[in-house]
Amino acid sequence: MWAYLVRRLLQIIPILIGVNIITFALFFFVNTPDNIANIHLGGKYVTQEARDSWKHQHGYDLPLFFNVEANGLDKVTQTIFFQKSAKLFIFEFGVSDTDRDIKQAIKERYLPSLLIAVPSFFLGLMLNIMVALILVFFKETYLDAWGIFVCVVLISISSMFYIIFGQFLFAKVLRLVPISGYADGWYAIKFLILPILVSLVAGLGPGARWYRAIFLEEYHKDYVRTARAKGLSDFLILFKHVLKNGMIPILTSVVSVLPLLFMGSLLLESFFAVPGLGSYTMDAIHDQDFAIVRVMVFLGTVLYILGLLLTDISYTLVDPRVRF
Amino acid sequence: MTLTFYWTDILVWISFAVGLILYLIKRHSPIIQDIKITLVQKPRYMVALLIVTTFTVIGLLDSIHLSYKSNGLNVTRSVLDLILSPRDYQREKTYSAPFALRSFEEETTAGEGGTTREMYAGLKYAGVGIEKGSSKGIDILKRVSLGFISGFILWCLLYLPFRQSTRRKMTEHRVIRAFEITLFCVFCWITLSAALMFQYHIFGTDKIGRDVYYIVLKSIRTGLVIGTVTSFVMLPFALSMGIWAGYFRGWIDDAIQYLYTTLGSIPGVLLIAAAVLSFQIRIEEDPDLKLLLLCIVLGATGWIGLCRLLRGETLKLREENYVQAARTLGVSDFKILLKHILPNLMHIVIITVVIDFSGLVLAESVLSYVGVGVAPTTYSWGNMINAARLEMAREPMVWWSLVAAFIFMFTLVFSTNILGDALQQALNPRER
């Protein structure tokens, strides 16, 4: 098992390097440091000296890959690639283009993101599985057909409508919860109810439909037919056997999302003014703060790959037929 | 009067033409026959098909632009603009409610004797010749009835001659009935719009006084462009990479897998945001180019899913008898790919393109909100929703923009999803 893990980790390294190079190309080839300086200094009437001093201040005035003027190891380290991109590997995030420490900001902001993402995830999982099982229990009846129809309707509505409608109904009209905002400590709960609720409803459509398909596939297998022939009640079959076996594909695909919960939902956090990592990224994109966007892209990728690794590991844990 | 084509216009028409030509050439092939048989089985499939066709026609009408000089200025309008004129250039002062005759906000106007009053000004372009109150209700009633009657007449004129032949193609009564009713609804919608929209603002006006109904109709083209041009950009990448990886295997497979794993590891929204941000500095502030850029970026980041599917399918197809026979006989790889592998991948391509279409329309609205979508001046549902966010916070609330965007966007996405289901039913063998 450890040999497998080590092998997988080694496979990840070329991918991480590739991602680093791609993001580097995106951020520095397409968009020269001159342009970045221009944006942050205001655009039209910027002198070359102002640009140069801004670049020097933020470390953008070094050559891209290879520094011929430096000595020895500095030839490679005193370059933009090494300073900005390669340093991400050791989680040295540096400062944003507005001179704020990125690592500090991440430390302050990861908790609100998790507070929304983790409950939504687990509650959503349970809700979707329950609804899917109910639909399968009533399969080939009108309830099932209408259930699918409702799921497709739910999928066709943009998540922004859910957020806006949720805010309108529960916050403005019914005045049950505040429209947006966040507070520290236990007071955060009343601010988190609506985002989590909206997240659940928005995820119900695709989730229930997909899990229903998986459970239905399990239901048509021979062992279920045998159990029914032997007289076991449908209810018991569904909630014990089909659920257990259907959880294998569900869990393994869902586990890959776990690390990404850290990043928070861009939309939710922005609409609900929650100071998490999602809104951090959103603001950075709005302000065209490339330093932050670079870091978040890298983080997101690392977490996604971690998720893939978790998926592979969980395959081996739940399915005894899969071995290394 | 000269015909002007924007870049996105050209691409939309090319996509449409290619699709039409492919359909005409292949209409007797088993795939198309399967699709046709499935589509006439359920009422909802025919309804969805009609709705998507209507939206497509509107989008295409909006993709032909004419330039001319008017009062010394160069004016470019689309065919849809000309149909909907003069709503395309009329501007009220500010917000107004649907079917209202007065502005939504008070204005300070000079009253009698040099004093100033706060009052709701009458709208310039709505309710011309109607005093407020009951006569407005009667006028609306008259127009609605006129709309329904002319819709029925249109339905009789355009559909009844073809009734026999279309009824023969659809076997079930439910389907025929649904089709005829939906066709009637579409015609009535056109005639009702014509009867009402030039006298009233059906969905009110937005902050700078533009007719919301006009904006939401123009946004159809934006959604259509994003759905089709993105697929147009994505298909060559996905097809070539997927087929090469699956057929040639070896180092090509490894390289392509490495490429799409790496590219796919970057979270989607972030990659799109980074790409758009990086490239948009290079291009000038041309809204059409920005739309094109968005489509290219979406295509370049979205080919990965299809590529994986195609690679898997090609790996299976490679081992088929006829492929192995062809290779033994010495047929060149290129010919094998073209004649044996490619046609058998078309069902995956068709399903994915249709399903991705709805996903892309939804994604555009999210991306516009994030700020990396279409230009703020482009008409799109995303921009409407974005603006609606602030409008909803006003007291009293401005809701009509959001409702209009919701209705149209939901209708298009929902119909496309239904069609996607129909295609999956037709082309993917399911267990039942």
As a whole number of angstroms, the distance between CA A20 and CA B147 comes to: 60
Domain count, chain B: 1
CA distance B312 to B302: 17
pLDDT of residue B432: 35
For the four alpha carbons of A133, A134, A135 and A140, in that order, the dihedral sign comes to: positive
Please tell me the distance in Å from B47's CA to the nearest CA on chain A: 15
DSSP state of B365: H
Which domain, by its residues, includes B386?
A: 219-427
| Chain A residue with Cα closest to B369 | A267
pLDDT of residue B268: 81
Q: Tokens 């309804």 — which residue?
A: B47
Which of B4, B16, B53 lies closest to B232, judged by CA? B16
What domains, with CATH codes, occur in chain A?
2-90 (no CATH), 105-323 (1.10.3720.10)
User: According to DSSP H, which parts of chain A are helical?
Assistant: 2-24, 33-41, 48-58, 74-77, 80, 102-137, 142-156, 159-166, 189-219, 222-229, 234-236, 243-255, 266-271, 277-287, 290-318
Angle between helices B342-370 and A277-287 in degrees, nearest 10: 90
What residues of chain B lie within 8 A of the CB of A161, using their CB?
Answer: 385, 406
Query: Maximum distance among all alpha carbons in chain A?
Result: 85
Residues contacting residue B324 through CB under 8 Å, at least 6 positions apart: none
Distance CA A153, CA B338 (A): 39
B250 in any annotated domain: yes
A and B: number of Cβ contacts within 8 A: 108
Position of tokens 């195609």?
B310
A30 — phi, psi (to 5°)? -70, -35
Q: For residue B160, tell me if it sits in a domain.
A: no
Provide the residue-wise pLDDT of chain A in tens; the chain has 324 residues.
678 778 888 888 888 888 877 877 777 766 666 776 776 777 666 677 777 777 777 666 666 665 666 666 666 666 666 666 666 677 767 777 666 788 888 888 888 888 889 999 999 999 999 999 999 988 888 998 899 999 999 999 988 899 888 888 888 788 888 878 888 878 888 888 889 999 999 999 999 999 998 898 888 889 888 998 998 888 888 888 888 888 888 887 787 778 778 777 888 888 888 888 888 888 888 777 777 887 888 888 888 888 888 887 877 777 777 665
Query: Which tokens sit at B97?
Result: 């409610």
The answer as to whether B181 is a domain residue is no
- Residues of B with CB below 8 A from A304's CB? 265-267
Per-residue pLDDT of chain B (432 residues; tens, 9 = 90+): 788 888 899 999 999 999 899 999 988 888 888 888 888 888 999 999 999 999 999 999 999 998 888 887 888 888 898 888 888 888 887 888 888 877 887 777 666 666 666 667 777 777 776 666 667 788 888 889 999 999 999 999 998 888 888 888 888 888 989 999 999 999 999 999 998 888 888 898 888 888 899 999 999 999 999 999 999 889 988 999 999 998 888 899 989 988 888 888 888 888 888 888 777 776 667 888 889 989 998 998 889 889 998 998 898 888 889 899 998 999 888 888 888 888 889 888 999 999 999 999 999 988 888 888 888 888 999 999 988 887 887 777 888 899 999 999 999 999 999 999 999 888 876 633
Residue B316 lies in a domain: yes
Residues of B in contact with A290 (CB under 8 A): 277
Q: A residues 185-244 near B, CB within 8 Å?
A: 217, 220
B31: in domain: no
End-to-end alpha-carbon separation of chain A, Å? 7
Interface test with A, best of B42, B266, B399 (most A CBs within 10 A): B266
H or E stretch at B362: helix B342-370
Whether the CB-CB separation of B376 and B215 falls below 8 Å is answered with no
**Smallest CA–CA distance from B413 into chain A, residue:** A156
Pull the structure tokens for residue B378.
């482009």
Evaluate whether residue B17 is within a structural domain: no
Whether residue A224 contacts residue A237, with contact meaning beta carbons closer than 8 Å, is answered with: yes
Q: Are the Cβ atoms of A164 and B385 closer than 8 angstroms? A: yes
Assess contact for B58 and B220: CB atoms under 8 A: yes
Residues of A in contact with B365 (CB under 8 A): 158, 160
Q: Does B154 touch chain A (CB under 8 A)?
A: no
B282 in contact with A, Cβ within 8 Å = yes
Residues B272, B273, B276, B279, CA torsion sign: negative
Residues 6 or more apart from A146 whose CB is under 8 A from it?
none
Q: Which residues pair with B73 in a beta bridge?
A: B70
Facing B278 at nearest CB: one of A30, A167, A260: A30
In chain A, residues with a C-beta closer than 8 Å to the C-beta of B366 are 158-160, 267
Give the CA distances from residue B304 to residues A13, B257, B268, in Å, rounded to whole numbers and listed in that order. 20, 10, 11
- CATH number, domain at B411? 1.10.3720.10
State the smallest CA–CA distance between residue A72 and chain B in angstroms.
Answer: 32
Predicted ipTM? 0.86
Query: Distance between CA B1 and CA B75 in Å, rounded?
Result: 10
Burial class (CB in 10 A: 0-12, 13-18, 19+), B218: buried
List Cα–Cα distances, B144 to B102, B135, B157, B188, in angstroms.
Answer: 21, 14, 20, 10
Tokens standing for residue A58: 């933020």
3-state secondary structure of A323: coil
Return phi, psi of residue A263, to 5°.
Answer: -80, -20
Q: Spell out which residues of chain A touch residue B259, defining contact as CB-CB under 8 Å.
A: 18
Distances (CA, A) of B381 to B210, B364, B401: 15, 8, 9
For residue B86, say if its preceding peptide bond is cis, omega within 30 degrees of 0: yes
Residue A19's Cβ-side half-sphere holds a number of Cα atoms within 13 Å equal to: 28
Whether B14 contacts chain A with CB within 8 A: no
Question: Has residue B310 been placed in a domain?
Answer: yes
Q: What is the pTM of this model?
A: 0.89
Determine the pLDDT at residue A101.
Answer: 80
Is residue B27 classed as helix, strand or coil in its secondary structure?
coil
Nearest to residue B95, comparing CAs of B84, B85, B109, B106?
A: B106
